[in-house]
Structure 1
Amino acid sequence: MKKTTSNSIKRNLITALSLMMTATMLASCGSGYDGSESRKSGSYNNERTTAENYRYSNVTAGDTDGTANTGGGYNTEEYNHLTENGYKLVSDEPLSTFSTDVDTASYTNVRRMINDGWEVDPDAVRTEEFINYFKYDYEKPAEGAVSINTELSDCPWNSEAKLMLVGLQAREAKVKDVPTNLVFLIDVSGSMEDEDKLPLVQQAFSMLVENLGADDRVSIVTYAGSDSVVLEGESGDNSEEIVSALNSLSAGGSTAGAAGITTAYKLAEEYFIEGGNNRVILATDGDLNVGLSSEEELTDLISQKRDSGVYLSVLGFGSGNYKDNRLEALADNGNGNYAYIDSVDEAKRVLVTEMSGTLFTVAKDAKVQIEFNPENVSAYRLVGYENRLLNDEDFEDDTKDAGDIGSGQQVTVLYEIVPNNGNEKSLKYQDNESKAETNELSGEMLTVSVRYKDPEASESKLIDKSVMCSDYTEAVSQNFAKACSAAEFAMVLRKSDYASGLTAQGVVDYMEQNNVDNSELFELIYKYMQNGTGSEASYW
């Protein structure tokens, strides 16, 4: 987007916002009315139902019966509580290690909350998924499956720190001739009857089917009170029969998800294609209530399946009873990825436009480890990835499960860095025998190392890249500014302690100053300010 275009979008949105605010103020004059009945507000239930789960209830202003704004039922959505990463002293912890993440569910789920006028649950916001929802212009790998891109500049929300961007770019695989064995595992329980659930699932999978061919295989497993095989090993070129089977589904009954998972993997293994793409795609709201249903039980079950060579994609749907914590656990522990589908357009993006990235893995068990040079860095903070952290020794342990990266996908990471003028050494930077080597290493700020396995391999490959102090630049790229914008908005929604003075308007100002090409994020931020559900007191 050119600057004139982004400015035009901003002016149009500001005009619309101003008109709505004016109308609200005029209507409330002399009546004591504060406009609350025209939008939905949230009240948090801060009592944890478990040590990790966080439930909240969004109640329409003026309601007295306690029902949430989800069609008359209580809101029982569940999210794992996340404590933001804090600063680490390089003298104590010179290594930072984590699993990669290409999931985007948090961004689209929060987008649904904002578009519906709900107050955003801070625990629904995973900063890395906001950053990774958007695409960046990274250098493609010259060889191997992944390239490392870096950029070092000032931190826009912390004047005392620098900010480093690490961008991983996966190669684009030639997937046209790779046969695919897919099992659609579809929740058809009673909670899936809403329009934004099973009907949207049917539309989503129908779009995917149109892109399959004669060498592909499709099976359909449904689960409610029990599991059922609707279609088994159908050729991908018989799209009419597959779509007809999808459209025949209806919702009703309780939810026995574990039984469905077991049957789906059994079918995927029965029709397993050597050298092909073998994957279960789970579509559900996550509200399991029969058999194995807790996050821990489901994690144990799916962990047993991940060595089968069958990958997992988890697609979340709906609102009101959405169980994000369970679906994320399934994806993270089952060699999988996780997306939330809030519209037909999003279904098309995930299953058609970006199908190769969603369905074809090119780097599995991908891990990142940063080693900071204590001579030049005193402290650092990893932005996001709170539930992806690994022990330092896990980096070289090829038996340790980690994230998978699909064809053409990207992983973007931000680190706040506090420079240091000390004279300490550690690890790579401590055993310098020659003066020449000492002088060379003294200019390094850090080293980025990445390990990953090829899809069929059991041993990992290692690539790394050093970042020099001299790599710092005051002018930032579109990649850097776009990633910062997404991270800043996530921190506003999380009410981050590490960006306490940041506001939604501040994010907009930063985007405009850096001519950020992202109309999607512009519009969502303005919608958030328009709703008045955040802490933007100057707007309401």
Structure 2
Amino acid sequence: MERHRVRRLRGALLALTAGGLLLTGCGGQDGGPSTTDRSSEGRGFPVAPEYDGDGSGEQKNGDDGDREFAPEPDLVSTFALDVDTASYGYARRTLAEGRLPDPTTVRPEEFVNSFRQDYDRPDGNGFTVTVDGARTAREDWSLVRVGLATRPAEDASRRPPAALTFVVDISGSMAEPGRLDLAKDSLGVMTDRLRDDDSVALVTFSDEAERVLRPTRVGGHRDEIHDAIDSLSPTDSTNLGAGVKTGYETAEDGLRKGATNRVVLVSDALANTGDTDADTILERVSSERREHGITLFGVGVGSDYGDALMERLADKGDGHTVYVSGEDEAHKVFAQDLPRNVDLTARDAKAQVVFDPKTVKEFRLIGYDDRKVADEDFRDDRVDGGEVGPGHTVTALYAVRTARHAEGHLATASVRWLDPRTRAPHEESGGIEADALEDSVWSASPRFQVTATAAYFADALRDGGDGRTALPGRGGLGELAERAEELSGKTEDQDVARLADAIRQASRLTGRD
């Protein structure tokens, strides 16, 4: 086992047992790094281990590094925040067409994060941290939910201006109904929702990339922008690499200080000509993010969809992805969410959860498979995290096996982020005690139950519904559909009703209740 992991695990347990380490408070008001203020005295929760921040992985707790083996179990979990939802949207589209989604495209965190939550919101920038949980039907196993929430989205008139570069796929595959036609209609609606001081550029790509509209202020040029959008028509192959390259070059030309600079990629992500090497395309996206702070928002369309490539592009580009399969979803993304949430409240945001070895035997983070971060990198601000805007929530769900008759502290969750303008680091934390666990998942709050149902559904799609690797307390698809149907009534949420429909479709296709 690698030496840095030995140090990490031992340090985690030392941090949990050392009486002097307390919960980290938020340092977001004065602009100073919160790591210098770690004295939330009286709150009584241990924090994650503290590292020296020089990239070596050495800890500040006196570890001499002589241990050959790490103590077990590893009770620290660290991951980059992610607000993607494309996996769930694409799964719903696939099920509606009478097919089960490929298990490799099912990312549980994107199912969970597709639903509204009831977390408290902060008054200013930064996050609130909510930790709750409930026991499952499987002995000693519980589900623990870590919820992070940013401030509500402000009225569009109060946000910074936006500099948006739309990179639109016009390859032959985009001729399918519900692809380019949907994108054109949605972009037109969005143009009418943008402010006069926003700017828009338009790049298209098929076998080659073309700059259709230079960076243009919306005020006084809406008709010109509408004409450029209306001119789009499908043709030829998909040179995604050329589209990304030209899109970022155009965004650089239109780079505006003090504005939110973003590339919006609309595509089925089925690259088949030109530069199709994912790593080369991803490096371009990553370098533009580092050098210019340009973020990427991926919008997936089409029944055949390059889910993996779009998701990786968004991760490298400090952005997120959604999938749209119909007019209502497209209008929500382009006409409501994008104009309102072009601002950022946090850059390079990471979460770390430390479980107490006195009460927890083992845990499993549900999802975030490709967003995991080394524990010692939690406070290394050079390590990439996730970008989160106003009005967002991020939920992480854990399956946790507790000690028999566990009492006392269960876990502490911390989130660390950089101010998007000053790059000053901040933290906030929250915790949960073992006796705060609800007696049953199905007697917890309705929104907790929705979270559990979405995670169980993703888990069933991943293992084919046969239960061989089922999360604790999952039950069959038929039971999950009934739970979701009941919850749609309790929450009066159409998104939950659609979840119930999707689960029923999956139940019919697998033949398992």
- Counterpart in the other structure of 2:164: 182
1:492 aligned to 2:460?
yes
Alignment partner of 2:408 out of 428, 443, 453: 443
1:196 aligned to 2:196?
no
Alignment partner of 1:111 out of 85, 92, 114: 92
Q: How does 1:301-380 map to 2 (within 5 A)?
A: 301-307=284-290, 308-320=292-304, 322-355=305-338, 358-380=341-363
Give how far 1:96 is off.
0.5
Change beyond 3 A, Cα 1:355–1:485? same
Distance 1:292 1:306 in 2: 20
Give how far 1:469 is off.
2.1
Give how far 1:153 is off.
1.4
Give yes or no for contact 1:447–1:465 (8 Å, CA) kept in 2.
yes
Gaps of 5+ in 1: 1-88, 424-441
Q: Percent identity?
A: 32
Give yes or no for contact 2:73–2:361 (8 Å, CA) kept in 1.
no
SS in 2 for 1:396: coil
Distance 1:447 1:296 in 2: 36
1:404 aligned to 2:409?
no
1:145 aligned to 2:126?
yes
- Counterpart in the other structure of 2:193: 211
Give yes or no for contact 2:362–2:402 (8 Å, CA) kept in 1.
yes
Distance 1:530 1:287 in 2: 27
- Counterpart in the other structure of 1:6: none
Q: State the Cα deviation string for residues 261-301 of structure 1 (Å, max 9, x = none).
A: 22222222222221111111001111112332122222222
Give yes or no for contact 1:363–1:454 (8 Å, CA) kept in 2.
yes
How many residues matched? 430
Distance 1:311 1:206 in 2: 22
Give yes or no for contact 1:357–1:406 (8 Å, CA) kept in 2.
no
1:493 maps to amino acid: L
- Counterpart in the other structure of 1:135: 116
- Counterpart in the other structure of 2:224: 241
Alignment partner of 1:509 out of 482, 505, 511: 482
1:281 aligned to 2:264?
yes
Change beyond 3 A, Cα 1:195–1:90? farther
Q: State the Cα deviation string for residues 45-90 of structure 1 (Å, max 9, x = none).
A: xxxxxxxxxxxxxxxxxxxxxxxxxxxxxxxxxxxxxxxxxxxx99
2:430 maps to amino acid: K
Give how far 1:209 is off.
0.8
- Counterpart in the other structure of 1:481: 449
Alignment partner of 1:164 out of 144, 147, 151: 144
Change beyond 3 A, Cα 1:396–1:328? same
Distance 2:451 2:477 in 1: 15
Return 354-363 or 214-223, whichever deviates more: 354-363
Q: State the Cα deviation string for residues 108-134 of structure 1 (Å, max 9, x = none).
A: 111111111112222221111111011
Distance 1:219 1:507 in 2: 45
Distance 1:503 1:494 in 2: 14
- Counterpart in the other structure of 2:364: 381
- Counterpart in the other structure of 1:468: 433
Give how far 1:143 is off.
4.4
Gaps of 5+ in 2: 1-69
Distance 1:147 1:356 in 2: 24
Q: Which runs of 4+ in 1 moved over 4 A?
A: 512-516, 530-533
SS in 2 for 1:228: strand
Q: How does 1:224-239 map to 2 (within 5 A)?
A: 224-237=206-219, 238-239=221-222
Give how far 1:512 is off.
5.6
Distance 1:294 1:419 in 2: 45
Normalising to structure 2: TM-score of the pair?
0.79
- Counterpart in the other structure of 2:504: 529
Alignment partner of 1:261 out of 244, 264, 273: 244
Distance 2:287 2:201 in 1: 21
Alignment partner of 1:455 out of 414, 420, 423: 420
- Counterpart in the other structure of 2:82: 101
Change beyond 3 A, Cα 1:95–1:528? closer
Give how far 1:528 is off.
4.9
Distance 1:195 1:110 in 2: 18
Give how far 1:394 is off.
1.8
Give how far 1:530 is off.
4.9
Distance 1:309 1:227 in 2: 23
Distance 1:284 1:527 in 2: 24
Give how far 1:531 is off.
7.0
1:193 maps to amino acid: A
Give yes or no for contact 1:504–1:525 (8 Å, CA) kept in 2.
no
Give how far 1:339 is off.
0.6
